[in-house]
Amino acid sequence: MADRNEIERIAAAMHALRPAWNIRSLVTFLNKHEARPFRDLAVAAVAVAVDERTQTPNALNNFGPWWKAAQEASGTPTAAVGPGRDRCKVYGHESYPARTCQGCRTEQLGTGMWPAGTAHQDAPPPVEYADAKMRAAGDDS
């Protein structure tokens, strides 16, 4: 995981590539990603900095070619590649990140709450999802 010194070095590299990006702001921003392996964060940060379409380092908060580059550089997939690396476990929401699942958020807004005593990740799939999943799998019994 990236420590303070490593984050400062990554910020300095990004600043060298993009002088308009303030080092102190970069350090503050990169601290949000300190749980990532140093190598992954360094490769992704440099890829963001050299991408002409990127206007701010905020692109690191999104899955993009920079995280793919980090994965390729390591030679093996890592659990820390890409924001929201844990996927939502609610049926039908698997494509969303667990912490910021838009499907769960939409359902929460619609009902105003999760089932009593459960987090959204612990809630069982609704019956209609299970029925649809069995029909899709060809199980008509």
Domain map (residue ranges) of the chain = 4-74, 86-141
Neighbours of 10 (CB within 10 A): 23
The answer to pTM > 0.85 is: no
Instruction: Give the pair of three-digit tokens for residue 111.
Output: 């009902």
Backbone torsion region of residue 117, taken as left when φ is above 0, otherwise alpha when ψ lies between -120 and 50, otherwise beta: left
Which of 72, 68, 5, 63 lies closest to 34 in space, CA to CA? 5
- Greater confidence (78 vs 90) lies with 90
Contact present, 32 and 1 (Cβ < 8 Å) = no
Distance CA 116, CA 81 (A): 33
Collapsed DSSP state (helix, strand, coil) of residue 97:
strand
Q: Convert the pLDDT of each residue in 3-17 to its tens digit.
A: 889 999 999 999 999
Neighbours of 40 (CB within 10 A): 22
Collapsed DSSP state (helix, strand, coil) of residue 87:
strand
Contact present, 74 and 44 (Cβ < 8 Å) = no
Confidence (pLDDT) at 78:
45
Q: Convert the pLDDT of each residue in 103-133 to its tens digit.
A: 777 777 665 555 544 455 555 555 555 555 5
Distance CA 122, CA 100 (A): 15
- Greater confidence (60 vs 123) lies with 60
Which of 75, 76, 100 lies closest to 86 in space, CA to CA? 100
Distance CA 137, CA 20 (A): 53
